[in-house]
Amino acid sequence: MHAKSFLQALDHDRIVAAIREAEGRSRGQVRVHVASRAVEDVQEAAARHFEALGMTKTAERNGVLLFVAPPSRSFAVVGDTAIHERLGPEFWRDVAAAMEADFRAGLYTDGIVKGVARVGEALAAHFPREAGRADVNELPDDVSED
């Protein structure tokens, strides 16, 4: 699938609302990025984009990227060091598996929203909002693309 068709099929407002909900319950940061080109190694491409999107610069190193490469029909979920240390690789595989069924059915927005929600639950458990302390939104909430 072409990235442009994939992007047009997404309900961006629903995805942004899911990101804001996830971030509203935690001190974490969530991004969704859609790649325009096919990738050979989706994990490697996701890691490169994680860095390029400035996600390693969050104060608590608790950002999570849902990276989708429609031309290669692949995607990955990547977390920064602090959240990865708490959850481990199995969590990221579980999130991806939850998204995969919807993706296979062509329900791309549903899959992304489901992934964001699961990530949001984990961030809220490990990085909950602190009462009386303002939270800074360190990264954009929109769906980015290249």
Q: What is the pLDDT of residue 134?
A: 74
Mean pLDDT by groups of 10 residues along the chain of 146 residues? 83 97 95 96 97 95 97 96 95 94 95 98 94 83 92
Residue ranges of domains in the chain, CATH in brackets: 3-125 (3.10.310.50)
Q: What is the pLDDT of residue 44?
A: 97
Q: Is 82 helix (H, G, I), strand (E, B) or coil?
A: helix
Q: What is the pLDDT of residue 53?
A: 96
Task: Give the tokens for residue 101.
Answer: 């069924």
| Cβ neighbours of residue 115 closer than 8 Å, sequence gap 6 or more | 66, 77, 95, 96, 98, 99
Beta strands (DSSP E) in 7-73 are: 29-34, 63-69
Q: What is the pLDDT of residue 135?
A: 77
Q: What is the pTM of this model?
A: 0.94
- For residue 12, CA distances in Å to 80, 102, 108, 112, 137 come to 24, 16, 11, 10, 18
Q: What is the pLDDT of residue 19?
A: 98
Question: Angle of helix 108-126 relative to helix 12-24, nearest 10 degrees?
Answer: 10
